Amino acid sequence: MEPENNVTVIQPPVLFDQTQDIIKKIESTLDGTFIAYWNNPKGSVCQNDVIAFYELLEGLGKRKRIYLFIKSDGGTGRASLRIVNLIRKYCDELVALVPLVCASAATMIALGANEIRMGPMAYLTAVDTSLTHDLSPIDRDNDRVSVSLDELTRVIRLWRRERSKGDGNPYQALFQHVHPLVIGAVDRAESLSIMLCNELLSYHIKETATAEEISSILNSKYPSHNYPILLEEAKRIGLNATTMDKETNALLLDLNELYSEMGQKATTDFDESRAHSNEILNILETQNLQIYFQEDKDWFYRTEERRWITMNDASSWRQVVNNNATIERKVLHIA
């Protein structure tokens, strides 16, 4: 993006040399191949990540054991299944390394691993489904909000408990705020979530009843979607969760710090109504290769709608490759 009115557009740092140094140290402590999968809080597990993983895994080839560092607030469960299915084609055993947050769809990825190694600050979460539908309610910023089946169920249950008999139908009041098609879509998504969990667990748990029990717990037991499932709780529900060694955990935290610096939001303000943002949202990395998605947009504030809209969007997947000591930087074209 060219400077406008002598204002230089701020770019986020790409710390390839520093992250590569740490990845080499991490891999030296492990008996397998290391892959990092990191999401900015604004990033998410998404379908395009599958193609980025393919690009990375093709360069690695078939490996006996892959260690996958996961740090993510979640995303699309269907993408989680595709990611695990893809990684499994390139390794005999998959081990998830979780030093920090591994939530929602990221928890689903961890379900597909033979072992989940968790640090002292690590947690998984429930995977009960919420979705943002075209007919979802609108918040104060005029954006669609996500709706979860658990929230809807609790509203109806509370209504029935607090209201007297014959005092109206809870759905009549609920439909004034949540479109009936949204409720139907969320219910359908809940069934999908349980099916995805069963499929992911089947990669290493052959007892169908055990997989179904774990799936049911993760989808319906917890009172909050973001309820932190710590190591001991993960063991209690039947997951093969173990304690991560201190050295690996410390190195992963160092790597997370560098990714967090890369993921800082770089905003350039031209005036009160025009700005430009650069932000790295998703990062995948192994030795000699880093792939990341960078948001690269012009923004305009539309006063009558009370929201910022995109004017020019040059966001793209990009990669940095160490090719025989020569560093190459290029755009990775993912539709």
C-alpha distances out from residue 123 to 51, 171, 172, 220, 252, Å: 27, 36, 39, 18, 15
Task: Read off the pLDDT of residues 191-217 as tens digits, 9 standing for 90 and up.
Answer: 678 888 999 999 999 999 999 999 989
Task: Read off the pLDDT of residues 122-150 as tens digits, 9 standing for 90 and up.
Answer: 999 998 666 565 656 777 666 676 666 66
CA 304 to chain centre: 33
Task: Read off the pLDDT of residues 260-318 as tens digits, 9 standing for 90 and up.
Answer: 999 998 888 888 888 888 899 999 999 999 999 999 888 888 888 778 888 888 889 99
Give the Cβ contact number of residue 239 at 10 Å.
25
Give the tokens for residue 314: 């040059």
C-alpha distances out from residue 256 to 72, 121, 167, 209, 244, Å: 11, 13, 54, 37, 16
How many Å apart are CA 174 and CA 286, to the nearest integer?
48
Does 223 have pLDDT greater than 90? no
Q: What is the pTM of this model?
A: 0.84
DSSP label of 175: T
